[in-house]
Amino acid sequence: MDNKDLANLIFPNVKGYEYYEKKYPARDLPEGAIVTRFAPSPTGFVHIGSLFQALVAWKVAKQTKGVFFLRVEDTDQKREVENGVSGIVNSLNDFGIIPTEGMTDENNEIGEYGPYKQSLRKDIYQSYAKKLIEEGKAYPCFCTPEILDEIRSNQEKAKERTGYYGKWTRCRNMPMDMAAEKIKNGEAYIIRLKSPGNPDRKIKHKDIIKGNIDFPENDQDIVIIKSDGLPTYHFAHAVDDHLMGTTTVIRADEWVASVPLHLQLFYMLGFKAPKYAHISPIMKMDGESKRKLSKRKDPEAAVSYYKEEGIPKQSVIEYLINIANSNFEIWRKQNPDKSIDEFTLELNKMGVSGALFDMVKLLDVSKTVISKYTAEEVYTAALEWAKEYDSELAKMLSDKEYSLKVLGIERGNVKPRKDIAKWSDIKNIIYYMYDDKFDKNGEFEYQKITDKDEIEQIVNIYFEKYYNENDDKQTWFNKIKDLAEEMGYAREVKEYKANPEAYKGHVGDISTVLRVKLTGRHNTPDLYEIMQVIGKERLLKRI
Q: How far is the C-alpha of 144 from the C-alpha of 41, rounded, in Å?
A: 27
Return the number of the residue (192 or 251) whose C-beta is nearest ligand GLU. Answer: 251
Residue with smaller CB distance to ligand GLU, 233 or 434: 233
Residues that bind ligand GLU (CB under 6 A): 39-41, 73, 237, 251-252, 255
* Shortest CB 47 distance to ligand GLU, Å: 10
List alpha helices for 372-506, DSSP H. Answer: 375-389, 391-396, 400-407, 423-430, 452-461, 473-486, 493-498
Give dist(CA 17, CA 140) in Å, integer. Answer: 19
User: Which are the contacts of 448, defined by CB distance < 8 A and separation ≥ 6?
Assistant: 505, 509, 512
Q: Which is nearer to ligand GLU, 59 or 237 (CB)?
A: 237
- Which has the closest alpha carbon to 523: 452, 418, 386, 421? 418
Length of the chain: 543
Q: Which is nearer to ligand GLU, 45 or 128 (CB)?
A: 45
Closest contact distance (angstroms) between CB of 241 and ligand GLU is 8
- Looking at the DSSP bridge assignments, the partners of residue 190 are 141
Q: From 388, 399, 396, 469, select the one nearest 429 (Cα to Cα).
A: 396
d(CA 480, CA 460): 13
Instruction: Give helix then strand counts, H and E, for the chain.
Output: 23, 13
The secondary element (H helix, E strand) that includes residue 509 is helix 507-519
How far, in Å, CA of 421 to CA of 435, rounded?
Answer: 24
Closest CA to 404 of 381, 377, 375: 375
Minimum distance from residue 254 beta carbon to ligand GLU (Å): 7
Q: Is there a contact between 221 and 193 (Cβ–Cβ < 8 Å)?
A: yes
Which residue number, 218 or 314, has a Cβ lying nearer to ligand GLU? Answer: 218
Q: Report d(CA 337, CA 173) in Å as an integer.
A: 66
Q: What is the DSSP letter of 159?
A: T
Q: Report in angstroms how near the CB of residue 121 gets to ligand GLU at its nearest.
A: 14
Q: How far is the CB of 368 from ligand GLU (least distance, A)?
A: 32
Query: Residue 43 or 457: which CB sits closer to ligand GLU?
Result: 43
Q: Report how far apart, in Å, the C-alpha atoms of 12 and of each of 80, 126, 436 are.
A: 29, 10, 76
Question: Hey, what amino acid is at 508?
Answer: G
Closer Cβ to ligand GLU, 246 or 519, answer by number: 246
Find out whether 469 and 535 touch, Cβ atoms under 8 Å.
yes
What is the rounded distance in angstroms from the CA atom of residue 263 to the CA atom of residue 301? Answer: 32
Nearest residue to ligand GLU by CB is 251
Nearer to ligand GLU, 350 or 518 (CB): 350
Q: How far is the CB of 270 from ligand GLU (least distance, A)?
A: 20
Cβ 248 to ligand GLU shortest distance, Å: 11
Q: Which CB atom, from 103 or from 420, has the smaller least distance to ligand GLU?
A: 103
CB of 72 to ligand GLU, least distance (A): 9
* b/e map 418-429, b = 16+ CB within 10 Å: bebbbbbbbbeb
Question: What is the amino acid identity at position 126?
Answer: Q
Nearest to ligand GLU of 234, 515 (CB atom): 234
Least CB distance from residue 342 to ligand GLU, whole Å?
27
Q: Is the distance from CB of 350 to CB of 323 less than 8 angstroms?
A: no
Nearer to ligand GLU, 41 or 195 (CB): 41
Sheet holding 223-225, edge to edge: 138-141, 190-193, 223-225
